[in-house]
């Protein structure tokens, strides 16, 4: 579906590669020899919306920080429920948006 949408929008899949993987494994594998050469190692924007019950938001956030996956000034948008909080001190917290039991935290790399 992502590829079809990219085609409709005229986005070249060579310029915008897609990785099918769980976020933590993908991020932790960025420094391995198996990491796809066509895949960038830093992004302008990362969106994270894991299943709330999985409680993996902090491992994903930690991996983003450890791998320096955000470009300087890059934006990280993390959706989660009110039970889970993001415990990191590296990214600058921009704002939190609330939608019922859902929170969306927006961070920026510095």
Domains and CATH numbers, the chain: 2-32+40-108 (3.40.50.150)
Residues 6+ apart with CB under 8 A from 108: 73, 74, 75, 76, 91, 92, 94
pLDDT surpasses 90 at 98: yes
Give the model's pLDDT for residue 108. Answer: 98
pLDDT at 103: 96
* Residue-level pLDDT at 18: 79
47 phi/psi in degrees, rounded to 5: -105, 135
Model pLDDT, residue 76 = 96
**Which tens digit of pLDDT belongs to each residue from 42-97?**
999 999 998 999 999 999 999 999 999 999 999 999 999 999 999 999 999 999 99
Which tokens belong to 106?
């927006």
**What is the pTM (predicted TM-score) of this model?**
0.85
8 Å CB contact between 26 and 35: no
Query: What is the pLDDT at residue 67?
Result: 94
- For residue 18, give both structure tokens: 């897609």
Closest CA to 45 of 99, 91, 102, 98: 91
């Amino acid at each position: 579906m992502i590829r079809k949408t990219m085609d409709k929008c005229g986005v070249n899949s060579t310029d915008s590669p897609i990785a099918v993987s769980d976020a933590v494994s993908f991020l932790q594998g960025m420094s391995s020899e198996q990491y796809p050469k066509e895949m960038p190692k830093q992004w302008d924007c990362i969106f994270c919306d894991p299943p709330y019950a999985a409680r993996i938001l902090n491992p994903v956030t930690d991996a983003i920080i450890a791998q320096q996956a955000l470009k300087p000034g890059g934006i990280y948008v993390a959706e989660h429920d009110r039970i889970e909080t993001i415990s990191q001190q590296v990214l600058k917290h921009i704002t939190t948006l609330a939608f019922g039991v859902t929170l969306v935290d927006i961070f920026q790399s510095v």
